[in-house]
């Protein structure tokens, strides 16, 4: 593969296919990031400012604080799994772009 | 304690064999710095987990939970969720656009010399602080566990330092990676075993276990107190407790994705897809481990008891003492050996990322403007740097002594990573208008503010310190972002903007990315 010129990169950047890749990535990554940050910081905020509420027992000896903390693990794994599924689509687009680019 | 010594020697022998094997296979820069980019997803997942689960996790968090209950468990949560930032934002673009170090991605469209010099300074700062904390921890642990076999603090620190230099100098990234993998497997196995023993102690009844956790007794200032360890607030108390928790959370969530020794791992895999899958593997392993800190920490609180731990080596000995209570001397020795292995592997990982950054960023690209004067020079410089970094860390750890308060050093590493490294990585990848002045100012301001605030925080100055929080993240992270943003707006650098499209295409498609070595 010959070295790509600066103008080549600019041309690829404006192609519909590349713009579609960026759009699809953003459509997953931005909401997922916002969600996990809000979900995660809800924990220290609630635990820090409303310890009474969070200490309420809901499941035998387990209180809201502990169950919420435990749910963070499930949340992180779920988002990771969803991302891997979504990324299969990104990979296909990226591979096509890569093939096009290497043919330049 | 000769069983502990024997098990530890077993681990050392195995890792030295790995180093010898790696040294024979290793030739050239890609092989030395990036293990030939031929590590696969599960291997790299284990290696990332191994690099990440330091003594601070295994001994530190178990102890924090054993002493502070729920508030200690809050650490565990942040340590895993932080990997979502790595997965969603950093790992793949880094692999696609970089070569050996974090600074590669920054240097793409910015003026490489000032940016690499600052990034290298920040990498060396993070790694050195983190490493000294680990070495002091190792020394203190060894002198406690092996006090009968005549190994004192100084000997232990020198031993750990010498081993880590051998791994890195002779085995490079390939040996370091496999040492991490072995250690991660041992650590997870030890933790599962210990958790099962805790559950068995309560007749495999979760209800029984958690009931006991709600009713923990210990002495405070000579008076017996009873606490529900599932309730928050034992460590983080008003007026600043909540802010400290949020600040810690910020440093973890944003700092992990800026830790140089984690980031370099993504250069050891063949492509971005493998980098992604390795983060997922790492999340499965790290998550499993941190969920189990529940059993380690609460188990130590209920079965061993805070009073006994305090009288027998203190908070960091919670997990080993729990092992002793449940499995006798042999299991105690095994868990102690796992703790040594953990520390040893982490310091090796830190050393290779520090020496790679010095050799690649500072020596080749800043001093010699991107030209290797003779073949193999970069690797040679990295090897020398590894020796220097090792010797300096040994000296500082010995000077600080076994009783040094090292918790703040690890906190500092995360805070510097979050305040200095992450803002410039993100802005460089996502903001067209970002430029060299912005990167240099962001790195400098993030570095200075996080170090400055730590120096006036309670962990250095004690109660009544001028800055009330243990973790500076909530202030220093915005400072890092703001400095990078404002300095970019105040200057104009059209060449950085013109090269943004190239970085964008490279980062998102992998076009032109570094390939794996054939072999």
Nearest residue to B468 (alpha-carbon basis) of B252, B251, B240: B240
* pLDDT tier at B110, thresholds 50, 70, 90: very high
Would you call A45 and B242 a contact, using CB atoms and an 8 Å cutoff?
Answer: yes
Res B478: pLDDT: 97
Q: Is residue A1 one of the residues assigned to a domain? A: no
CB nearest B88 (choices: A33, A45, A60): A33
The span from the CA of B136 to the CA of B311, in Å, is: 20
B400 half-sphere exposure, CB direction, 13 A CA radius: 24
Q: Is residue B517 one of the residues assigned to a domain? A: no
Among chain B residues, the shortest Cα distance to A86 is held by B88
Q: Is residue B397 one of the residues assigned to a domain? A: yes
Q: Is residue A7 one of the residues assigned to a domain? A: no
* pLDDT tier at A4, thresholds 50, 70, 90: confident
Q: Does residue B267 surpass a pLDDT of 60?
A: yes
Mutation target for B interface from A10, A23, A66: give the one with most B CBs within 10 A: A66
Would you call A69 and B210 a contact, using CB atoms and an 8 Å cutoff?
Answer: no
Q: Is residue A5 one of the residues assigned to a domain? A: no
Q: Is residue B442 one of the residues assigned to a domain? A: no
CB nearest A9 (choices: B214, B233, B502): B502
Would you call B245 and A48 a contact, using CB atoms and an 8 Å cutoff?
Answer: yes
Average pLDDT, chain B: 90
Q: Does residue B500 surpass a pLDDT of 80?
A: yes
CB nearest A9 (choices: B89, B284, B501): B501
Q: Which two tokens stand for residue B60?
A: 């530190």
* pLDDT tier at B1, thresholds 50, 70, 90: low
Q: Report ipTM for this prediction.
A: 0.95
- What predicted TM-score, i.e. pTM, was given to this entire model? 0.93
A22 half-sphere exposure, CB direction, 13 A CA radius: 15
Res A102: pLDDT: 80
The span from the CA of A21 to the CA of A18, in Å, is: 5
**More confident: B203 or B512:** B203
Domain of B284 in residue numbering reads as 2-402
Among chain A residues, the shortest Cα distance to B509 is held by A94
Q: Is residue B258 one of the residues assigned to a domain? A: yes
Distance to chain B for A72, nearest Cα, Å: 7
The predicted-structure confidence for B180-234, as pLDDT tens digits, reads as follows: 999 999 999 999 999 999 999 999 999 999 999 998 999 988 889 899 999 998 8
Q: What is the mean predicted confidence (pLDDT) over B90-119?
A: 92
Task: Kindly state the DSSP code that residue B169 receives in the 8-state scheme.
Answer: I
Q: What is the mean predicted confidence (pLDDT) over B78-106?
A: 94
Would you call A72 and B81 a contact, using CB atoms and an 8 Å cutoff?
Answer: yes
* pLDDT tier at A7, thresholds 50, 70, 90: confident
Tell me the count of A-B CB pairs closer than 8 A.
155
The predicted-structure confidence for B11-27, as pLDDT tens digits, reads as follows: 899 999 999 999 988 77
Q: Is residue A48 one of the residues assigned to a domain? A: yes
CB nearest B283 (choices: A54, A76, A91): A76
Q: Does residue B263 surpass a pLDDT of 90?
A: yes
Q: Does residue A1 surpass a pLDDT of 70?
A: no
Q: The domain that contains B299 carries what CATH number?
A: 1.20.1730.10
Q: Does residue A2 surpass a pLDDT of 60?
A: no
Q: Is residue A36 one of the residues assigned to a domain? A: yes
Q: What is the mean predicted confidence (pLDDT) over B149-170?
A: 87
The span from the CA of B233 to the CA of B228, in Å, is: 10
For residue A36, list chain B residues with Cβ-Cβ distance below 8 A: 81, 84
Q: Are B472 and B459 in contact (CB under 8 A)?
A: no
Q: Which of A1-5, B392-396, B482-486 has the highest mean pLDDT?
A: B482-486
Q: Are B138 and B339 in contact (CB under 8 A)?
A: no
For residue B78, list chain A residues with Cβ-Cβ distance below 8 A: 40
Domain of A48 in residue numbering reads as 12-103
Q: Which two tokens stand for residue B330?
A: 């042999």
Share of chain B above pLDDT 90, in %: 59
For residue A40, list chain B residues with Cβ-Cβ distance below 8 A: 77-78, 81, 249, 253
Q: How many domains does chain A have?
A: 1
Q: Are B364 and B355 in contact (CB under 8 A)?
A: no
Q: Is residue B212 one of the residues assigned to a domain? A: yes
Distance to chain B for A28, nearest Cα, Å: 9
The span from the CA of A25 to the CA of A19, in Å, is: 10
For residue B473, list chain A residues with Cβ-Cβ distance below 8 A: none
Q: What is the mean predicted confidence (pLDDT) over B455-479?
A: 89
* pLDDT tier at B261, thresholds 50, 70, 90: very high
* pLDDT tier at B148, thresholds 50, 70, 90: low
Would you call B236 and A48 a contact, using CB atoms and an 8 Å cutoff?
Answer: yes
Q: Is residue A28 one of the residues assigned to a domain? A: yes
* pLDDT tier at A34, thresholds 50, 70, 90: very high
**More confident: B408 or B425:** B425
Q: How many domains does chain B have?
A: 1
């Amino acid at each position: 593969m010959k070295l790509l010129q600066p103008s080549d990169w600019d041309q690829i950047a404006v192609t519909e296919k590349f713009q579609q890749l960026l759009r699809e990535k953003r459509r997953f990554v931005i909401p997922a990031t916002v969600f996990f940050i809000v979900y995660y910081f809800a924990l220290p905020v609630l635990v820090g400012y409303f310890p009474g509420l969070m200490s309420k027992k809901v499941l035998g000896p387990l209180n809201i604080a502990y169950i919420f903390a435990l749910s963070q693990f499930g949340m992180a794994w779920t988002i990771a799994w969803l991302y891997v599924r979504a990324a299969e689509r990104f990979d296909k687009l990226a591979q096509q772009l890569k093939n096009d680019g290497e043919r330049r | 304690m000769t069983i502990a010594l024997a098990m530890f020697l077993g681990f050392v022998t195995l890792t030295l064999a790995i180093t010898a094997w790696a040294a024979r296979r290793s030739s050239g820069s890609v092989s030395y710095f990036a293990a030939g980019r031929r590590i696969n997803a599960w291997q790299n997942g284990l290696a990332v987990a191994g690099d990440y689960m330091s003594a601070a996790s295994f001994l530190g968090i178990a102890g924090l939970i054993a002493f502070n209950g729920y508030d200690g468990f809050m650490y565990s949560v942040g340590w895993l969720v932080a990997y979502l930032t790595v997965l969603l934002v950093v790992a793949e673009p880094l692999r696609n656009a970089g070569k050996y170090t974090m600074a590669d991605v920054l240097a793409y469209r910015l003026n490489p010399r000032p940016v690499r010099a600052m990034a290298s300074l920040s990498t060396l700062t993070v790694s050195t602080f983190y490493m000294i904390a680990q070495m002091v921890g190792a020394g203190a642990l060894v002198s406690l566990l092996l006090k009968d076999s005549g190994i004192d603090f100084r000997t232990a620190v020198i031993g750990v330092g010498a081993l880590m230099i051998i791994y890195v100098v002779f085995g490079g990234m390939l040996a370091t990676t496999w040492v991490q993998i072995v250690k991660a497997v041992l650590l997870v196995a030890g933790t599962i075993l210990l958790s099962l023993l805790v559950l068995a102690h309560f007749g495999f009844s979760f209800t029984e276990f958690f009931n006991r956790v709600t009713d923990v007794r210990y002495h405070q200032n000579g008076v017996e107190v009873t606490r529900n360890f599932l309730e928050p607030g034992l460590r983080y108390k008003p007026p600043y407790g909540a802010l400290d928790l949020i600040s810690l959370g910020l440093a973890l969530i944003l700092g992990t994705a800026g830790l140089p020794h984690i980031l370099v791992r993504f250069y050891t895999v063949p492509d971005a897809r493998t980098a992604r899958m390795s983060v997922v593997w790492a999340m499965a392993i790290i998550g499993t481990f941190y969920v189990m800190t529940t059993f380690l920490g609460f188990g130590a609180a209920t079965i061993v008891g805070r009073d006994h731990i305090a009288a027998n080596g203190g908070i960091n000995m919670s997990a080993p003492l729990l092992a002793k209570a449940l499995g006798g001397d042999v299991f105690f020795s095994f868990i102690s050996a796992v703790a040594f292995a953990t520390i040893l592997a982490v310091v090796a990982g830190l050393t290779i990322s520090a020496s790679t950054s010095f050799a690649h960023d500072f020596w080749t690209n800043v001093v010699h403007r991107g030209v290797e004067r003779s073949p193999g020079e970069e690797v040679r410089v990295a090897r020398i740097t590894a020796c220097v970094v090792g010797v300096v860390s040994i000296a500082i750890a010995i000077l600080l002594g076994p009783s040094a308060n090292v918790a703040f050093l690890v906190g500092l590493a995360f805070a510097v990573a979050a305040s200095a490294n992450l803002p410039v990585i993100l802005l460089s990848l996502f903001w067209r208008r970002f430029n060299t002045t912005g990167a240099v100012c962001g790195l400098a301001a993030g570095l200075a503010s996080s170090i400055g605030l730590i120096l006036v925080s309670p962990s250095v100055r004690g109660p009544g310190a001028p800055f009330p929080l243990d973790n500076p993240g909530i202030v220093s992270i915005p400072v890092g972002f703001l400095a990078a943003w404002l300095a970019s707006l105040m200057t104009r650098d059209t060449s950085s903007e013109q090269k943004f499209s190239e970085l964008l295409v490279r980062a998102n498609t992998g076009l032109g990315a570094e390939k794996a070595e054939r072999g």
